[in-house]
Structure 1
Amino acid sequence: MYSPFTFLIFLTKAFLWNLEMKWKLISTQFYLFSYLLMVFFFPQKFNVSTSKVIVHFCFSDILPEIRAICLEELCCWMTSCPDTFLTDSYLKYLGWTLSDRQADVRKRCVSSLLVLYSKPEQQPRLELFSQRFKERLVTMVSDREPDVAVKTVQVLNAMRETSDGLLSRKDCEAVYPYVFCARRQLAVAAGSFLYKSLLKQESEMESSPPSRPQEGFLRALLAFHLANQVVHSYLIFLIFHY
């Protein structure tokens, strides 16, 4: 049985530790943002080795909140100063955190990638990263955290739209079955991926009369449904969703 004095000591230590962690989070975010401002307004004082040490130190932190903050700030660095930071030496940190144990860190990572892939002019800088980590992204569609899986499908969709031939047929076929997922958000994201990468192309190849412009799409949709040999009410969802 702990005495009141011992309990008070434990409570004080817990409070101080919590206060220390909050201060660490605030100071880290402020430091990273200040460094970005320095690089932006005083590029002549920029030091590559210093920035790499800063990023590596933050990404190695034991607190997932610190790693998440570093992801957001690094994404800001890459979008604000792509010539300096949107390089393979910094992108590798995003690739490493795709396998982070904390779901929130993985979510921040794929959210940052979605921002980067939404800019077509930046695709040449992301080519090597895409080739190296696309397999990991495909496997993350089955992530146990629903938000991570949804964001990952959106990233793959952006990759497919901006880089023809980047995703192989095998990569795409690994995403298609998730249109039947019980999680609606993931099913909708996978449905959008399916439509843009497969059904839209096949329906455009079909020669439909002008009076029935959706016939090609419906034929492609039915072919996909039969190929997966799944018989349930999701077919109605697939038809009316589009």
Structure 2
Amino acid sequence: MAREQVPSAISRVLVFAAHPDDIDFGASATIAGWTAAGVSVSYCILTDGDAGGFSAEDRPGVAALRRSEQRDAAAVVGVSDVTFLGEPDGYLEPTDAVIREIVRRMREVRPDVVLSMHPERSWDRIQKSHPDHLACGEAVTRAVYPAVENPFAYPELEAAGLRSFRVPWLWFYGGPAHLENRFVDVTGAEDLKLAAITAHRSQHPDVGRMQSRVRAILQENARRGGLPEGRSAEAFHVVEVNTEETIAGF
């Protein structure tokens, strides 16, 4: 199980999430390490998170608030490129229209790694598997293969100069624990991760409990990944899509 913070040959990463704050819970410490090493990281949030929060006040303003919170959280870990697709919170589906916009964003960024929520349900902690999370993972997976690399898929994008290309790596976060095969040592970045999560102020009725739980999860990830006692880790399911070990077209 690999523990390197920045695998070789990564210069651009594109991260997808269903809601504002998903990335920060799932991968923000790893992202902080990447940006510190000079990797360009972009976020694409599929919904506005307009069904989130705990207050009945100013519901029309929730979407704008959550976009602002996500930009603040991204800045904590060195990310400035944040886009939103604006799908309604709670109703995300892997439709043709959503996949097209994901393909568009992939072809614009042309990342070495696509990082996404997982398309498979996790029964160990079902909260990880909000229906929007699963839909995000499914839409991104369909976009990665075959749509983004097929010049005849969404030909209007190709005609507009957004050329097809092959994504080398697909990393998933927030999926079933038994599928996780990479544990990134993020020891020393715990406070950055917590600051990014806490930037989503509208989502945390008990900040202290949340922070304590996140620290415990990081330590448990490290234990599962075989890291020494006292370390912290984020866990991923890494899939090779187009590398020297894969066969194109199969």
- TM interval, short-chain normalised: under 0.3
Taking structure 2 as the reference length, what is the TM-score of the superposition? 0.25
Q: Which of the pair is proportionally richer in helix?
A: 1
| Highest RCO, 1 vs 2 (Cα 8 Å, sep ≥ 6) | 2
Higher strand share: 2
**TM norm structure 1:** 0.26
